[in-house]
Amino acid sequence: MNKSSFRGWKWAFVPVYHILEDYPDQCEGVYRALVKYFMNSGALDDASWAAYREKIIHRRLLRKDLNLTKLGIDLGFENLPKEVGPNHRVLITLTRWHQRAFSLALSYLSCFVFGYGEKPLRVIVTMVLTILAYAMFYGHFGALSEAGFSSALYFSIVTFTTLGYGDYTTESGFSFVGRLRSNSRGLAYRSIPFCVVS
């Protein structure tokens, strides 16, 4: 058995690989078992595919669990002491909902930036898009002392890669963009080892 055993067709000509995912509660465990099976068989690419699909199913479950009524029932208000009043129960439900909403947002970000560690090419694409976005920002708002898109692109690449420069500087009031840039660069650079280790 390998990944090809799960091939289906999307639009009758695009191959897709997944199990029947109509019941995501059960699918997550099945994909986890497939990861172990493929790892033990030495089929690392197939294990990577199963791990990626497991995370996709986990994201679907997080999205499904954002229903506030369901959240209150599922998380067992019956386990709370009787002294806990209705206002406190609502506060607990909202807190749990925010935690799950944050987990869902983080899951989407992880999928987009590095494909849950299974798609390293996404890190490179994200880096290129970040460099281009900042270059367009610098060029559009005239944030550099030198005008033109090529100067903005050069400044964006040099800033992102931390090579160092002295020939271009930002206009006053735009220095905060450099600090914001360092945060996005840090996310991208930290994603590369995660993909390699995974």
Rounded to an integer, what distance in angstroms lies between the CA atom of residue 34 and that of residue 85? 45
Amino acid at 50: A
Beta strands in 103-179 (DSSP E): none
Query: Is 52 among the domain residues?
Result: yes
Q: Tell me the whole-structure pTM to 2 decimals.
A: 0.70
Q: Which CATH number goes with the domain that contains 138?
A: 1.10.287.70
25 and 77 within one domain: yes
49 and 109 within one domain: yes
Per-residue pLDDT at 45: 92
Convert the pLDDT of each residue in 13-58 to its tens digit: 889 999 999 888 899 999 999 999 999 999 999 999 999 999 999 9
Convert the pLDDT of each residue in 142-188 to its tens digit: 877 777 888 888 888 887 877 766 555 555 556 556 555 555 655 55
The residue-averaged pLDDT of 111-116 equals 89
How many domains does the chain fold into? 2
Query: Is 118 among the domain residues?
Result: no
Query: Is 127 among the domain residues?
Result: yes
Of the candidates 79, 113, 147, which is a domain's last residue? 113
Q: Is the pLDDT of residue 190 over 70?
A: no
Q: Which two tokens stand for residue 109?
A: 């970000």
128 and 52 within one domain: no
**Range of the structural domain that residue 176 is part of:** 123-197
52 and 24 within one domain: yes
Residue 53: Cβ within 10 Å count: 24
